[in-house]
Structure formats: C-alpha cells, structure tokens
Amino acid sequence: MVGRLHFHKAQQKQLYGFTGSVFGHFFCLFLMLFLPAVAVAQEWDPLVDRLAADGFSKEWLVTLFNRPQMQFNPSVMAVKMKTLYKNKFGDSSVRELQRRLAILGYKPGRADGKTGAKTRKAIRWFQAAHGLTVDGRFSEQLLVMALKERNRAPTNVKIPPTKPGPLVYQSIMTEERLMEAKAFLAANQKILLRLERHYGVPSEIAVGILTVETRLGTYLGEESAFQTLASMALCDHFNCVADAFKDEHLTKTKRRWIKRRTAQKARWAYGECKALLTYALQSGRDPLTIPGSLYGAIGIAQFMPSQALRHGADGNGDGVVDLFVLDDALFSMGNYLMSNGWRGSMRSRRKQRRAIYNYNHSTIYVNTVLAVADYLEEGRTVFMWDETGK
C-alpha cells in the first residue's frame, strides 16, 4: 500500500501543477485511482469473463485486473512468436549473411536462416580471415562487415580448431558461480540429504538445477507472472503480433502458421493463467506479487503454474506448497523428476540426462546441470564452450 501511494504521488507531480492544495491532492488521487481502472477493466473484460465462466469470483477478478500494475503487454507474445518463427523458418539476417558469405566463397551451405554446422564453419573462416574473435557466432556487426567485404575468401588462412567439450552456458561455469553453488551445497546439507533420501536425486544435481534456473533462488524474474500470462492469453490473433513481422516477407503459408501458433500459444497461456490463480489461492499469495520468468515460470526451481499444481510438494510439512520456500521447491523438483524418469538412486548418466532433459528440453541445459554437479562432487571441470551466448 505504501508503494502504491508513492507511485500515485509521483504521477501527480508529473501531470498536475496544483498538487500542493488539499483540493488538488484529492482530485488527482481520484483521477489516478479511478479513471485508469475503468480503462483497464474494459481492456481486460474478455479475459475476466472467461475466467469467471471457469469458476473464479467475478468480483475478485474485477478487483484484481483493475489494480494499477495490471497493464496489458502484447510484446511478450510478439517476442515468443518471433522466436518460434525463427526456429521454424530461420532468421532473415542470418539468411542474408549466408548469401553474402556464399558469394564471397566461404561455403556456408543452404541459405536457410539457421546457424547450422556449415554456417558456423563459414563464419569461423570469415572471422579468422579478418582478425576477429573466432567463435562461429552470428552478429549484426558481422553481417555489416560481410556486406562491405569485396575480397574473396582466402584459402591460406589458419582457422583455430573448435574448442573441445560439451556445450554449456559459459555464464554458469565461472569461478564465481561455482563457488556460490559449493557454498549453497554446504549450507543446505540437511534438506538436500532429505531430498535425496525421499526422491533419490543427488544433492549435487539438485544444486546444479537451481544454479542454472534461478542462481540458487537469487533471481526469480522481474515481471509479474500473472500479468505476463494474462497478456499472452489476451493475444490470440495475428494483429497482436503483426509489428514483430513487419520486416519479414510473409507468404500465405507463413502468415497462416503465425495465426495458428499465436492462437495455440494464447490458449496455452490461458490455461497457465488459470493455474496461477489457483496456485495463488492455495498458497495464500497475492497473484500480482508472484514474480516470474519471461514466459511465466515461478519459484526457486522454476515451474510453470500447471506443473506447480501437478507436481508441487510440501517439503517442510506446513500444509502449504510454496515454491518460493526452499524445502517446497526442492521437494517439488524431486517429485517432478521422479514423475519424469528418475528412479531411486539412479547412477546411469544416460538415464540422468534423460530425466533432466524432461525438466528442461535443452541439451545445453542438461550439460550445464551435470557439469555443475561434477564440479560439486569431484571438484573438477572440463574445458567447455557455448555457442548460445548465454
């Protein structure tokens, strides 16, 4: 409540010149408190009606959506759809670089807009030829250089070999982050051993997951998970994301795909929005103060709300599943892993990889979790590299 009043006073000072008077103060407070609420309510009306039809209190929903922080943000869906589009159809800038490198003789392979093995090799060749850091990564600066280049690809340039080791997130495999993980492991032995006895998940792997997901609970996201999911749920049509594709040449097939996937993602977000409201009611949390990731994952172990309802576990025995409490977050993680392939004190690295992959469908993610675990267990790391830039 204090923060809300401070916000309104700051806005009053910006918008009105007579806030010093008693009348002016109350008049401005009225405008800031009530007039925006009407506009916001109208914008969110379709979503409020759907949620009410699914059993949530209409009065509670209206109050929730009329709060000042509930601002519709279509950019979340736009970013998501642009990412999905690039994964399927390629990136237009990468495609332009591929075409230019091919003209110059660097042999990047088919101009599909994706940085596959041939394209990475061509980029490394170009970087070596121009005295750049050789990492095989696309960048806009690299594209600008290639477009200006007039010389053919040299055949006598020495290209540094690709660095060995599995792909990992370099930002995680630093001395600072590994020391944090080691300290966390030592400080939380009791709950971690209880997790291992109950679910079979080794302490080192559990800490590896938390290290990658939220930096051991120190970074839980900067946005309201509910606002994010509600905004995505309301973006169920092409016009909501059209600006993100204004520089793309959209064929009828591509446009139909964007429309269909946008509607699918909106339906998914609506389901997660409902799950988050249910989770908030069950845990006694204010829905708007629950922080989340870019697309609405919540808690120390980063669960989507639907997974929180399905796999959430009460680790401290207080009768409430709160994913922002370490005991509950760890037991929920263990419950999820056990439901997705983890079996007892499983030591097979292949089976461990499969279970962790089910937690997050990324090979680089799995590699990093296991690399952190190896360091914690054996005090060793191998030389690793990362093409994702994370």
**Would you list the domain boundaries of the chain?**
2-65, 78-148, 163-220+299-390
Distance CA 56, CA 70 (A): 18
Q: What's the pLDDT at 162? A: 81
* Dist. CA 334–CA 229, nearest whole Å: 26
- Report d(CA 216, CA 202) in Å as an integer: 16
Q: Which residues of the chain have pLDDT under 70?
A: 1-41, 164-165, 380-390
- CB-side exposure of 36: number of CA atoms within 13 Å? 16
pTM of the model: 0.82
210 near 274, Cβ under 8 Å? no
What element of type H or E holds 359?
A: helix 349-359
- Contact between 124 and 159 (Cβ < 8 Å): yes
pLDDT of residue 41: 53
What CATH topology corresponds to 163-220+299-390?
A: Lysozyme (1.10.530)
Of the candidate CATH numbers 1.20.1070, 1.10.101, 1.10.10, 1.10.150, the domain formed by 78-148 belongs to 1.10.101
Structure confidence at residue 33 (pLDDT) = 40
Tell me the per-residue pLDDT of 287-324, one tens digit each, with 9 for 90 and over: 999 999 999 999 999 999 999 999 999 999 999 999 99
- Residue 224: the pLDDT is 96
Q: What is the per-residue pLDDT for 372?
A: 97
pLDDT for the residue numbered 163 = 72
Cα torsion through 198, 201, 205, 206, rounded to 10: -30
pLDDT of amino acid 37? 42
Structure tokens at 366: 């799995």
